[in-house]
Chain A
């Protein structure tokens, strides 16, 4: 049981390049989330998916797109990376009910 996995662990991009961050969970959770973590700002929600086939914007969605490919996988895409998107990105999933979220190990992204 791997929990929530994310790839890649590290990535360096040049301004304007695109990339997709991958996330998968093996806990059969319906809900999945993407956050970014910046120093002094805690975690901010980028997008979330309540269930397979649905996605919604969070607090800071600009510059990102997401795909809920199936129940297991939820990807985050940066179409044209900007230095302001330098951050650590976390994926999380949650079971139904008032339950905690389970987090992946994160992707550290640097945009030059």
Chain B
């Protein structure tokens, strides 16, 4: 079965500094990977996805993610953090299972706290 792991429950970073939120994956076949963000009391919002092609994927709000096949990682990055980036971030992988229907398997989430 497909799975993702987010090894950090929380990441703390000062505003203006670069941030990284880590994600590693385990899949059979080609990995299709996603990042979502959840602000307090809101639903999840899509940030970016990797399907194929360039290993550096650019997404919403200045976020990008680096796909690394040899390390089976898909880390989320941003060059300069904002206080407003403070939120809960989820990594997810597509799982087609036995039916071929696309489902997402989510990591447990990483809370990002950006201090002023």
Stretch of B14-22, B69-77, B78-86, B105-113 with 4 or more beta carbons under 8 angstroms from chain A: B105-113
A58-110: which residues lie under 8 A (CB-CB) from chain B?
58, 90, 92, 94, 98, 100-106
Known A98-B32, A100-B49, A103-B43; judge A43-B90 contact (CB<8 A): yes
Tell me if A's interface is mostly helix, strand, loop or mixed: strand
Chain B residues in 8 Å Cβ range of A58: 103
| B108-A33 in contact (CB<8A) | no
How many A-B residue pairs have C-beta atoms within 8 angstroms? Tell me. 51
A105-B101 Cα distance, complex, nearest whole Å:
24
List residues of A (36-68) whose CB comes within 8 Å of B's CBs: 40-45, 48, 50, 56, 58
Give the shortest distance, in Å, between A39 (CB) and chain B (any CB).
9
Question: Residue A31 at the B interface, CB < 8 A?
Answer: yes
A21 within 8 A of B: no
Chain B: interface residue total (CB-CB under 8 A): 23
Whole-angstrom distance between the Cβ of A45 and the nearest chain B Cβ: 6
From the candidates A56, A102, A103, name the one contacting B101 in the complex (CB within 8 A).
Answer: A56
Contact of A42 among B46, B99, B107 (CB under 8 A): B107
Is B34 interfacial (CB-CB < 8 Å)? yes
**Bound: A81/B90 CA distance, A:** 28
Contact B34 A100 (CB under 8 A): yes
